[in-house]
Amino acid sequence: MNQKNLFKTKNGSLYIGSIDIGRIVKKTGSPLYIYDAMIMRSQMKKLKSAMPKEVTIHYAVKANPNRAVAEVFQKLGAGAEVASGSELTLAMKAGFKPEKIIFAGPGKSEKELKLAIKKQIGSINIESETELFRVLKASTAKRPTPIAFRVNLDFAKKKGEIMIGGPRKFGIDDTQIKNLAKKALNDNRVEFTGFHCFPGTQLANAKTLATAYRQFATWVKTTAINLNMNVKTINFGGGFGIPFKDGDAELDVKALGKSLNAIIKGLRSSPIFSKTRFLIEPGRYLVGPSGIYISRITDIKKSRGETFVICEGGIHHALIPIVLNKNYPTAILNKMNLRNSRTVTIAGPLCTSADQFSRRVKLPQPETGDLIGVFNSGAYGYTAGMTLFLSHPTPSEALVENGDFYIIRKPKKPEHGTRAKIEF
């Protein structure tokens, strides 16, 4: 599986919708992130049809926090998972009803918590004992705040496979939950709905995810029976991986759905789970394959036998390939019909040797002015870079939906700082 194949080519050029990429970039300029809403829809459809009917999908806004992108998922009936007050505001502007929004993440400020409480969102996912106290203090018995506990479960894991377990800044250790849960159950300022667990990111193996879900479900069952509570929500988190290179298998969402179905059936056999709602909150899976980061080649040089293709954009715009340590699928978008006859390293203009987003990849003969496309860039792209490093303008963002093209974020020139005296 290769994400490049999700897009059409004609006469050697990549097409987005019915338009040649060269014509698009003439209008938008570059560097550019472009997203295809049709691919978002098909990812959502694939996931929805594979999951048991009891499972609600919440789009993890952090993956691509452009309002126009969030709107695509809102219109498809998803809920939203947000990680900051600003993402919460964005989700509401995108039309998500407050009760369909979950707010998770460590270090929520008092201002952010008050906003979430005021808007009566679906759930604030509590990440620490002190956060619970802050929520209690800001809530009233008249309008109890729905909360869930994010659990740092000590998974039995294979090295590098699952992100959580051990000492973590995320969630509350499983061993600490019982006492806090008792407090929450006995305080009428909050409505304690259930538990949340995020197993990791870019997990492309259904068995790995199913194992994590099973362990979490078993833990929830023991804990809830112990607490004698009816569990209203269980949130299994996100982390659904996507393929990167030729030959990478797609996450088998059907197999995952079957495992989840069995887990849910198992839980339903106990009356405390008879009304439980089940949630997942993927980001990358829904939006990653829909996006391409596009940057023009500005120079080509050789160093000790190796060819470096230098682009106008680099890891200040597309940092995640480095963080994930992956060569994202890359192509010359105006030479899609030519043979990949050269081995090159694609680098940006930054003064750090980390600024190389594809190392030793095969491409057709590159030339200055060609358009390099980095596929799989719909998630953790635009906002997960270091956009201000070296003071280049930010990229623009564009969306194609139902045959129409939209600029969904204009490029911005960096500010150069200011000097304003502080008076005391």
Ligand X SMILES: Cc1ncc(COP(=O)(O)O)c(C=O)c1O
Binding site for ligand X (CB under 6 A): 60, 63, 81, 104, 198, 201, 237-240, 281-285, 379
* DSSP state, residue 383: G
Q: Please choose, from the candidates 97, 65, 71, 56, the residue with its C-alpha nearest in 3D space to the C-alpha of residue 84.
A: 65
Measured from the CB atom, the residue of 174 and 281 that comes closer to ligand X is 281
CB of 150: closest distance to ligand X in angstroms? 7
- Secondary structure (3-state) at 72: helix
Alpha carbons 378 and 196: distance in angstroms, whole number: 25
Closest contact distance (angstroms) between CB of 196 and ligand X is 7
Q: Is 6 helix (H, G, I), strand (E, B) or coil?
A: helix
What single letter denotes the amino acid at residue 147? Answer: I
Nearer to ligand X, 60 or 294 (CB): 60
CB of 59 to ligand X, least distance (A): 9
The minimum distance between CB 83 and ligand X, in angstroms, equals 7
Determine contact, residues 184/190, Cβ cutoff 8 Å: yes
Task: Identify which of residues 300 and 324 has a Cβ nearer to ligand X in the complex.
Answer: 324
Q: Of the candidates 61, 62, 84, 88, which has an alpha carbon nearest to the alpha carbon of residue 72?
A: 61
Maximum CA extent, the chain? 72
Helices 129-138 + 174-185 axis angle, to 10 = 20
CA–CA gap between residue 337 and residue 194 (Å, rounded): 53
Instruction: Name the token pair of 42.
Output: 């098909």
Distance CA 332, CA 52 (A): 40
**Pick 24 or 251: Cβ nearer ligand X:** 251
CB-nearer residue toward ligand X: 79 or 329 = 79
Closest CA to 210 of 157, 255, 150: 255
How far apart, in whole angstroms, are the C-alpha atoms of residue 61 and residue 87?
7
Between residues 283 and 395, which has the closer beta carbon with respect to ligand X? 283
Nearer to ligand X, 95 or 106 (CB): 106
Cβ 358 to ligand X, closest distance in Å? 21
291 vs 366, beta carbon nearer ligand X = 291
CA distance 120 to 130: 20
Min separation Cβ 381 and ligand X, Å: 12
* Shortest distance (Å) from residue 125 CB to ligand X: 8
Rounded least distance, CB 261 to ligand X, Å: 20
* Helix, strand, or coil (residue 9): strand
User: How many residues in total does the chain contain?
Assistant: 424
